[in-house]
């Protein structure tokens, strides 16, 4: 562990790891890597930051985080289509990191969650994103809304969730297919939750809104923090 209260910087850190561009794929998502993890300090490569609105190009860089500075863990919901689940980690200096699973679509390809999403059409990708960038895209650009729920966890459970999320997001998952029902944003967020807490949530319908409902019923979620067009860039 690092020293208690150590700062976490939500900035790109110069480093030797080049982030691949994957020109055939949508440019809001791409695989990440853990450059180093020593003494409770991690350096992550392939983290998405702000977007140049005119060019519609995101800045991708490295992020340094310290386990000792972890403050809260949130379970998230984003609207649109069948919805979307993600996990967010906040740190003592205000930095916030979203960890999410997405279908890795080709440029301009429309996501079909029902047919293509259940028959192996899409590769799976784990995406690491600053929360500011996540909100700007989801709410500012796409006109959706986002709810994040603080999780009622012990300090040890929060740290285990952080460790599990980074391990999953930076492992070698090449060849793995996204599946709306069995290998999705929701199922992978719940996998991280299970690894961090030991609680296994078994659902008949693996839908993002249903996941939120059941986590609420079991007492794992606090009050939602809601972001929409009226407040996302004012908080």
pLDDT in tens, the chain (235 residues): 343 333 334 443 433 344 568 999 999 999 999 999 999 999 999 999 999 888 889 999 999 999 999 999 999 999 988 899 999 999 998 889 999 999 999 999 999 998 999 999 999 999 999 999 999 999 999 999 999 999 999 999 999 999 999 999 999 999 999 999 999 999 999 999 999 999 998 887 789 999 999 999 999 999 999 999 999 987 6
The model carries a pTM of 0.90
48: its two tokens: 């998405």
State residue 9's pLDDT score. 40
CB contact at 8 A, 201 and 217? no
160: its two tokens: 């285990």
d(Cα 78, Cα 224) in Å, to the nearest integer? 12
Residues belonging to the chain: 235
Strands, DSSP E only, in the chain?
33-38, 41-52, 57-66, 70-78, 84-91, 96-104, 123-130, 146-150, 225-227
State residue 205's pLDDT score. 77
Strands, DSSP E only, in 132-203?
146-150
* 3-state SS class at 232: coil
* Alpha-carbon torsion angle 67, 226, 189, 110, nearest 10: -130
d(Cα 80, Cα 77) in Å, to the nearest integer? 10
Chain centroid offset of residue 183 CA: 15
Cα→Cα distances 148→72, 90, 156, Å? 11, 11, 21
- Domain locations in the chain? 33-227
State residue 206's pLDDT score. 82
State residue 10's pLDDT score. 42
Cα→Cα distances 71→8, 47, 132, 173, Å? 11, 20, 17, 29
Q: Which residues contact 64 (CB under 8 A, 6 or more apart)?
A: 8, 9, 13, 41, 42, 43, 44
């Amino acid at each position: 562990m690092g020293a208690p209260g150590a700062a976490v910087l939500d900035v790109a850190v110069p480093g030797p790891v080049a982030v691949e561009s994957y020109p055939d794929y949508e440019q809001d998502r791409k695989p990440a890597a853990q450059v180093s993890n020593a003494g409770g300090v991690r350096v992550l490569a392939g983290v998405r930051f702000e977007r140049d609105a005119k060019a519609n190009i995101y800045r991708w860089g490295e992020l340094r985080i310290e386990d000792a500075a972890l403050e809260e863990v949130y379970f998230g919901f984003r609207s649109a289509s069948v919805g979307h689940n993600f996990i967010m980690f906040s740190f003592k200096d205000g930095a916030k990191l979203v960890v999410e699973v997405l279908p890795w679509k080709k440029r301009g390809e429309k996501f079909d969650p029902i047919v293509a999403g259940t028959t192996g059409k899409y590769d799976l990708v784990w995406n690491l994103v600053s929360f500011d960038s996540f909100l700007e895209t989801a709410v500012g650009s796409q006109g959706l809304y986002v709810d994040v729920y603080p999780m009622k966890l012990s300090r040890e459970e929060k740290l285990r969730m952080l460790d599990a999320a980074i391990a999953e997001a930076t492992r070698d998952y090449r060849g793995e297919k996204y599946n709306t029902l069995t290998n999705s944003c929701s199922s992978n967020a719940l996998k991280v939750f299970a690894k961090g807490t030991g609680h296994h949530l078994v659902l008949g319908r693996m839908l993002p809104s249903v996941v939120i409902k059941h986590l609420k019923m079991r007492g794992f979620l606090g009050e939602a923090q809601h972001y929409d067009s009226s407040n996302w860039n004012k908080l």
